Structure 1
Amino acid sequence: MSGVVTVGVDGSAQSLDAVAHAAREAGYRHAALRVVHALAGPTYVEALVWERSEDLLRDEAYQLVDEAVARARSVAPDVDVSGHVLTGEPLAVLEAQSRSSELVVVGSKGRSRFEDLLLGSNAAGLAAHGRCPVLVVREQGDPSGPILLGVDGSPAGAAAIRFALDEAAVQGARVVALHAWTTWNAPVPPPGDPGEPYSSRPGMLAAAEHRLLAEALAGTSDRWPDVKVEHRTVREPTRSALIEASACARLTVVGSRGRGGFTGLLLGSVSQAVLHHAHGPVAVVRG
């Protein structure tokens, strides 16, 4: 057994979908599955109005964990599954669990009075702060589709490439490595001949972006010889390109943030957009 996959549960339908996904991931990886529920204790209003004592909440927590464990075992009967009720706020508990996990899986949103939110605060926070790759289950992807990998050529994106290729190897999937560019996010060429009306000759910018993708994926065929990787370069905004392509993918993989932008941010605008709008599960990999 190579490691541990952790899944966060809160009793919502989406968290049970995340459990099923996590169980399959653990099976692919020959890893144990750790089902975790964070028990923060009753709020003042819950204790006063609904008489929801801490003992009652704890009993409910163990019940929902038992349900989640049963779901996981039904999906992956050969996986070693354990259930845990841990005290603390969900984000803090899951961030701590990510330190000893090779993957953490959560639903895109859990039990909340804000039902129209596309992404819950715990999923967004964990994607930004998790110490291992975080897989957010929005909806089921196309099980026969490829793994979609967003490539931007940044050093941080190398971790996402490794994750996507490892994932493809254990799932027997192919990879579509997508690099999207526009004249706004392409590197600015050095000053040329003052007499030239354009900074780049026609076609030069596109050729440079094709080369960037090829260089980012250099050596992958040697390390993952059985994984078929399609190189796809498109001239359009990165966010819309990835979201559109995710409709045909079983999983979308992005780095936490890429080249450009504000270096102090833990989660870039592209990864945030994909987390909110992708058509299937999304894995965010920190560099």
Structure 2
Amino acid sequence: MLDSRPVVVGVDGSPASLAAVRYAVRLAERRQTPLHLVHAYQYPLPGYTMVGFAYPSDGSGEAAREQIAATLKALAERIRAEHPDLVAVHAEQVAGPAAAVLIELARGADVTVVGTRGHGGFAGLLLGSVAAQVATHAHGTVIVVPPAAEDGPDRAEDPVAVGFDRSTGAERALRFAAEESLLRGTALAVTRLYDPVMDRDGAYAALSIADAVKILLDEYPSLRVDADTLPSESIARGMIEISAEAGLTVVGSRGHGGFAGLLLGSIGRALLHHARGPVAVVHPTHAERNVS
């Protein structure tokens, strides 16, 4: 077992959350770690219901909890039956705002998985407030999964893509991406996007990525790495284009540039809103943040 900490996934019955569950199942299988299904609830106004998790209009908290518990139990049992190689499957409902609940559980998670947008909010939004808050504030790695992944393949045979800029966040992302590539048996596509105004011929970018790949291969000698440098006037746009060919696009919580207090940089935010596949945002873990 790689890690006894679970893969935590938020469930609310929406298409995006069901896609996140399917993704989390495969992730937990690869990482040989338990799967933890979580439904966070706050009783809404009378008469309001959510698909798959219907709340009674009489305000009865007990009836609502029983309904959700039955739904979660059935989901967990189906997952166990369809994926017998999973280490374990746990399901629970937790009272509280969904983002706050998942951010707290992420402290002890191996990876936290959320759908891009759950129930509620505006239909035109590509990224919901819960996914945005969890991806920005949670400890450890958060993977945000779009609903298109629900009925389609895992894209697990496509390369894992990671952007590198020599920041501490990028180095952490690089290692997570390398681990995922090895578990999937795919190549790792490491890209150093550079501004041609600042680095006209890309010489500095090429040198920095060569150093990073050498260190990575010393640590993971069986890893297949495709390293490249590309000029781009917009690093964010360049990473969005790269995501179209990736099974997973990985980014550090904050790279070079911006304000030190920001938890998620502009590139990460752009990817979460516009990437063409799942995105992993790699934050420091709870233990790393508490190292004195």
The residue type paired with residue 37 of structure 2 is V
Counterpart Cα distance in 1 of 2:78 and 2:254: 34
Residue among 117, 125, 130 paired with 1:117? 125
The residue type paired with residue 16 of structure 2 is Q
Is the CA contact (8 Å cut-off) linking 1:156 and 1:257 kept in structure 2? yes
Is the CA contact (8 Å cut-off) linking 2:7 and 2:27 kept in structure 1? yes
CA offset at residue 46 of structure 1?
5.0
1:248 counterpart SS class: coil
Is the CA contact (8 Å cut-off) linking 1:42 and 1:54 kept in structure 2? no
The corresponding residue for 1:126 is 134
Any gaps of 5 or more consecutive residues in structure 1? 188-201
Counterpart Cα distance in 1 of 2:121 and 2:66: 22
The residue type paired with residue 221 of structure 2 is P
Is the CA contact (8 Å cut-off) linking 2:249 and 2:277 kept in structure 1? yes
State how many pairs are aligned. 269
TM (normalized to structure 2)? 0.86
The corresponding residue for 2:272 is 275
The corresponding residue for 2:290 is none
Is the CA contact (8 Å cut-off) linking 1:106 and 1:137 kept in structure 2? yes
CA offset at residue 63 of structure 1?
3.2
CA offset at residue 25 of structure 1?
0.7
The corresponding residue for 1:57 is 64
Residue among 149, 152, 169 paired with 2:165? 152
The residue type paired with residue 17 of structure 2 is S
The residue type paired with residue 242 of structure 1 is M
The corresponding residue for 1:210 is 206
The residue type paired with residue 117 of structure 2 is K
Residue among 135, 145, 160 paired with 1:137? 145
The corresponding residue for 1:21 is 23
The corresponding residue for 1:78 is 85
Is the CA contact (8 Å cut-off) linking 1:28 and 1:170 kept in structure 2? yes
The corresponding residue for 1:36 is 38
Residue among 99, 103, 118 paired with 2:107? 99
Q: Does 1:175 align with 2:188?
A: yes
The residue type paired with residue 25 of structure 1 is L
Q: Does 1:222 align with 2:229?
A: no
Is the CA contact (8 Å cut-off) linking 2:31 and 2:183 kept in structure 1? yes
TM (normalized to structure 1)? 0.87
CA offset at residue 259 of structure 1?
0.3
The corresponding residue for 1:194 is none
The corresponding residue for 2:76 is 69
Aligned-pair RMSD on alpha carbons? 2.1
* Higher mean C-alpha displacement, 267-276 vs 237-246: 237-246
User: What is the CA deviation profile of residues 215-240 of structure 1, one whole-angstrom value per residue up to 9, with x for unaligned ones?
Assistant: 23331112111111111111012111
CA offset at residue 145 of structure 1?
1.2
Q: Which has the larger radius of gyration?
A: 1
The corresponding residue for 2:239 is 242
CA offset at residue 44 of structure 1?
6.7
* Higher mean C-alpha displacement, 66-75 vs 1-10: 66-75
User: What is the CA deviation profile of residues 136-156 of structure 1, one whole-angstrom value per residue up to 9, with x for unaligned ones?
Assistant: 101336332100111111122
* Higher mean C-alpha displacement, 219-228 vs 128-137: 219-228
Is the CA contact (8 Å cut-off) linking 1:16 and 1:68 kept in structure 2? no
Is the CA contact (8 Å cut-off) linking 1:23 and 1:75 kept in structure 2? no
CA offset at residue 78 of structure 1?
1.5
1:267 counterpart SS class: coil
CA offset at residue 262 of structure 1?
1.5
* Higher mean C-alpha displacement, 115-124 vs 140-149: 140-149
CA offset at residue 67 of structure 1?
4.1
Counterpart Cα distance in 1 of 2:108 and 2:135: 16
Counterpart Cα distance in 1 of 2:250 and 2:77: 28
The residue type paired with residue 182 of structure 2 is A
CA offset at residue 17 of structure 1?
1.2
Counterpart Cα distance in 2 of 1:101 and 1:133: 9
Counterpart Cα distance in 2 of 1:103 and 1:155: 19
The corresponding residue for 1:199 is none
